[in-house]
Structure 1
Amino acid sequence: MTELQIPPHANRGVVIVKEDKENIEKPLISMVDYIRVTFKTHDIDYILENVVHLRKDYMTEKSSGFYGYIGTFELDQIKVFYSALDDNRGILVEMSGKGCRQFESFLKCRKKTWFDFFQDCIENKGTFTRFDLAIDDKRTYFSIPELLKKAQKGECISRFRKSDFNGSFDLVDGGLGGTTIYFGSKKSEAYLCFYEKNHEQSEKYNIPLEEIGEWNRYELRLKNDRAQVAVKALITQKNLTYIALKIINNYVRFVDADENITREYWKTSPLWSEFIGDVEKLSLYTKPDADFYRKSRNWLQNSCAPTMKMVLEVDKHLGSTDLSDMILNAEMSDKQEKMLEVFLAEITDMVV
C-alpha cells in the first residue's frame, strides 16, 4: 500500500453551518458521501448510544438485513445491522449519501462534526470498510469531455492501469449528453469517478441544462485499508487537503504531451495545476437534511395523487366525502407510525 504523506497544515475542519452566500460561491464543495464501518461486538445498544448517538426508540427494527446480517435498526437511510451471537461479523453501520446528509443534522444538533464521529468509531475499535468523498465543482476547472480526450491521447499519468468511460448523445440533434470517466477498478481499494453532474440532474429531474449551470462531480471511493487510513488521517489532521491531494493527485495527474522528452517527464497541464492548487480551499460543508419521509411522500405524489385528485373532483361534483372518509378510516402500518413519530419529533429528542 502506498504511504500517504501528510500535506501542509490548514484549518479545514468539518463544520456544518447555515448555507450562506459565502458557501454558495465557493467553487469546490466536498462532502462525506458513503460510510460503512464494522464493530466486533453484538452490543447493539452500546453502539447506538455511544457511536451513532441515536435513541433506539426512534429507529425502526427489521428482522432482516443485508450482507448476511440478521436484523436492522434504521432511521431512513441511516442503518445499523446486527448479526447472530455466533457470527463474528458483529455490527455494521452504513450510511448512503442521503444517510450522511441526514446524519449531519444530528451532528449539528450535538454540536459535533464528522471528525468526532470518526473518533468515536476508532475508539470503539471500528473498522471502516468503505469511505466515499464527493467533490462538487461548480466553477468547472476543466471539461470532463476534454479531460477524456487528454486521457485517450496518453496525457494522464496514473497509478491505475486502466480507465473506463461512458457518455450519450441526442439522436435528434446530435447534442452531447453527460460524460463520465472512471479511474481504476470497482473491485480495487481506491476508485475515482469524474462526471458531469449537471447533465445527470437535467435528465433526472427534466430541467433544462442551462438552468442548472456548470457542475462537475468528482467521487472518491475507498475500501478497507485505504478507507481506514484516510479516516485516521482525518482524525489526526482535521484537514480535507490530506484526502483531496493524496487521493486525487497521487492517483491521477494530467499532463501536456511534449515530443522532445519521454512521457514520464511531461509537465503537468495548467488546467490540472490550477485545480490541484485550489484543492486546499475545499470546504467540508453541505446542507444537513432532516427530512426522513421524503421517499414515501414522493411515492404518494407520483403514484397516488392523480387518483386522489380524481376522487376529490367527484366528491366536489356529488357533494360526497369519499376521499376524506378513506383517509380518516385508513390504518397506518407500524413503519408508517414510526415515520410519523420521527417526523413530529424534534432532532434533540432523537440524539443521545
Structure 2
Amino acid sequence: MTTSKHQPPLANRGVVILEKEPEEVQNPLTAMVDYLRVSFKTHDVDFILEQIVHLKKAYMQEKESGFYGYIGTYQLDHIKVFYSKEGDNRGVLVEMSGQGCRQFESFLDARKKTWFDFFKDCINHGGKFSRFDLAIDDRETYFEIPMLLEKVKKGEAISRFRKSDFNGSLDIADGSNGGTTLYFGSKKSEAYLCFYEKNHEQADKYNIPLEDLGEWNRYELRLKNDRAQGAVQSLIQSQDLLNIAMQIINNYIRFVDADEDASREKWKTSGFWKVFIGDVGKLSLFMQPEDEFYEKSRRWLQNSCAPTMKMVLEADQVLGRQDLSDMVVNAELSDKQEKMLDVLLASPRDMVC
C-alpha cells in the first residue's frame, strides 16, 4: 500500500469541536466580519505570513499566479495572501472571503486572539484596508424586507444614498414571496448596504425546507478604501460595533412614518426602526470559528464522483473484484492534494505561528 510522500508537519489527527456558548446561540442579533482585503507596502511575504496572518507556510499552497495584478499566491482554502514582484508598489495583499473569515477565526481562537488583535497588527505595520464588510444576522427579524421595500417605494425612507435597488422572486404555484433583496447606494461607492432574506437564500442554495431555517434576515455593510480603513480604526478604539453600526446604518438610512401635517424631513422614525437601531448599537463582534477546510472539494467528490464510485464498488462485490480499492491505493496525490491532506489532518493549533 502506498503512503503519503511526507507526513503532515506536527499533524494532529484528533477532531476539534468548538461549542458555542448558550447566550451566543440565543442572541437574535449577531455581527461578523464577512470579507476583507488589506495590503502592505512590503515584499516580505514571509513577515506577513508569520507576523500578521500567523500561519505556517508549510500548510499553504503556493501558486505562481494571482489576482489584482499580483504574480503569486499563498493560499489556505479561502484565506489568500498575494505577493507582487520587486519594484511593484502593490506589495502584499491579504484577502479573506466570508468563509475565509470563519476559517481564520479558528486560527485566532487557537492563538487566544481576537479580530481586534489582528486589526491592530495590520494597522501597526502599515496595513491599508481597501475592503471591509460586516454582516449582521437577525434571527428575530425586527422587520420584513418586503415591508422595507414598500416603505422605500412610498418615500418613507430618508437616506444619504440617492438610489436604492432590489430584486426578488415569487413562487409560480401560489405567488408567495421567494426572497427579497434590498440595496442602498452604489456598488461603486465606498459605502454600500445590502439587506436580504437569508433563510430564502439558504433554502434555495442547499435545497432545505424554508420552515427548517426559521426567521433569518441578513444585513451586509460593505465598505471600501477610506471608509473601510476608518471602520477598522474605530473598531480598534471602541472594541465594539457601536460606532460602526450607528454610523453605517443609522447615519445612512432611516425609515419613517408619513405625516400629512409635517414636512418629510420632520417625519418621525418608525417604531420598529428605533428598536432595531437601539439593539444594533449594543452588538459585540461575534466569532464563529470554522475548522472545516476544503468543503468545496468534498462536495464535488460527493456530488460528482461518489455515484460512480458506488457503482464500481457494487460491481466489485458481485464480481468478487477489488477495482475500487486498487484505484485508491495506486492513485498519486498532486502537490496541491498533499497540502490539502496536511491541512485536513492538522488542528488549527498546529498551523499557527
Alignment of 1:109-124 (within 5 A): 109-124=110-125
- Structure 2's unaligned 5+ residue stretches are 1-17
Q: Which amino acid aligns with 1:145?
A: P
Alignment-mate amino acid for residue 116 of structure 2: F
**8 Å CA contact 2:37, 2:132 repeated in 1:** yes
Tell me how far 1:265 sits from its aligned partner. 0.4
| Aligned match of 2:196 | 195
Is structure 2 residue 97 aligned with structure 1 residue 85?
no
1:283-333 deviation digits (Å, cap 9, x = unpaired): 322321111121111100000000000001101110110100100011111
CA contact (8 A) 2:240 2:284 kept: no
1:275 aligns with 2:281: no
Structure 2: which amino acid aligns with 1:317?
A: V
Task: Give CA deviations for 1:179-198 in whole Å, capped at 9, x if unaligned.
Answer: 00000000000000000000
Partner SS state of residue 178, structure 1: strand
Distance (Å, rounded) in 2 between the aligned partners of 1:39 and 1:320: 57
The answer to whether the aligner puts 1:21 opposite 2:27 as a matched pair is: no
Secondary structure, in 3 states, of the residue corresponding to 2:245?
helix
Q: Aligned equivalents of 2:160 and 2:231: distance in 1?
A: 18
CA distance in 2, matches of 1:299, 1:256: 49
Equivalent residue runs for 1:202-213 within 5 Å: 202-213=203-214
Aligned to 2:178: 177
Partner of 2:265: 264
CA distance in 2, matches of 1:18, 1:229: 33
* Other-structure match for 1:55: 56
What is the CA distance between 1:176 and its match in structure 2?
A: 1.4
Match of 2:232 in 1: 231
Give the structure-1-normalised TM-score. Answer: 0.94
Match of 2:6 in 1: none
More deviation in 20-29 or 218-227?
20-29
**In the TM superposition, what is the alpha-carbon distance from 1:243 to its structure 2 partner?**
1.1
Counterpart CA distance in 2 for 1:138 and 1:282 is 14
Q: Which amino acid aligns with 1:49?
A: E
Contact (CA 8 Å) 1:195, 1:218: kept in 2 or not?
yes
What is aligned with 2:251? Answer: 250
- Matched with 1:9 is none
CA distance in 1, matches of 2:183, 2:95: 24
Shift of 1:215: 0.3
In the TM superposition, what whole-angstrom CA distance separates every residue of 1:9-45 from its partner, at most 9, and x where no partner exists? xxxxxxxx84132111101011000010000110011
> Which residue is 2:319 aligned to?
318
Tell me by how many angstroms 1:205 deviates: 1.0
Per the TM alignment, residue 281 of structure 1 is displaced from its structure 2 partner at its CA by: 3.1
Aligned to 2:77: 76
Moved more, 78-87 or 280-289: 280-289
CA distance in 2, matches of 1:254, 1:71: 46
SS in structure 1 at match of 2:179 = coil
SS of match in other structure, 2:161: coil
Deviation at 1:280, TM superposition (A): 2.8
Secondary structure of the 2:135 match is: strand
- Does the Cα contact within 8 Å between 1:254 and 1:268 map onto a contact in 2? yes
Distance 1:299 1:291 in 2: 15
Please give the residue correspondences for 1:97-176 in structure 2 after superposition, counting only pairs within 5 Å: 97-176=98-177
Larger mean Cα displacement after TM superposition, 338-347 or 145-154: 338-347
SS in 2 for 1:281: coil
Match of 1:307 in 2: 308
Check whether the contact 2:38–2:93 (CA below 8 A) recurs between aligned residues. yes
Q: Is the 8 A contact 2:240 2:285 kept in 1?
A: no
Q: TM-score, normalised by structure 2?
A: 0.94
Q: RMSD value over aligned CA atoms?
A: 0.9
Q: Distance in 2 between matches of 1:317 and 1:285?
A: 53
Gaps of 5+ in 1: 1-16
Helix, strand or coil: the match of 2:222? strand
- The answer as to whether partners of 1:136 and 1:215 remain within 8 angstroms in 2 is yes
For 1:202 and 1:283, locate their aligned partners in 2 and report how far apart those are by CA, in whole Å.
28
Q: Which residue of 2 aligns with 1:32?
A: 33
Structure 1 residues 158-199: Cα deviation after superposition (integer angstroms, max 9, x where no partner)? 000000000110122212110000000000000000000000
The count of corresponding residues between Structure 1 and Structure 2 is 336
Q: Name the CA distance, whole Å, in 2 between partners of 1:346 and 1:20.
A: 21
> What do the CA deviations read for 1:202-256 (whole angstroms, capped 9, x no partner)?
1111111111110000000000000000000111110111111111000000000
Aligned equivalent of 2:330: 329
Matched, 1:290 2:291: yes
Question: In structure 2, how many angstroms separate the alpha carbons of the residues matched to 1:36 and 1:323?
Answer: 43
Question: Does the Cα contact within 8 Å between 1:18 and 1:287 map onto a contact in 2?
Answer: no
Q: Secondary structure at the match of 1:136?
A: strand
The residue matched to 1:48 in structure 2 has which SS?
A: helix
How far apart, in 1, do the equivalents of 2:153 and 2:317 lie?
64
Contact 1:69/1:81 (8 A) holds in 2: yes
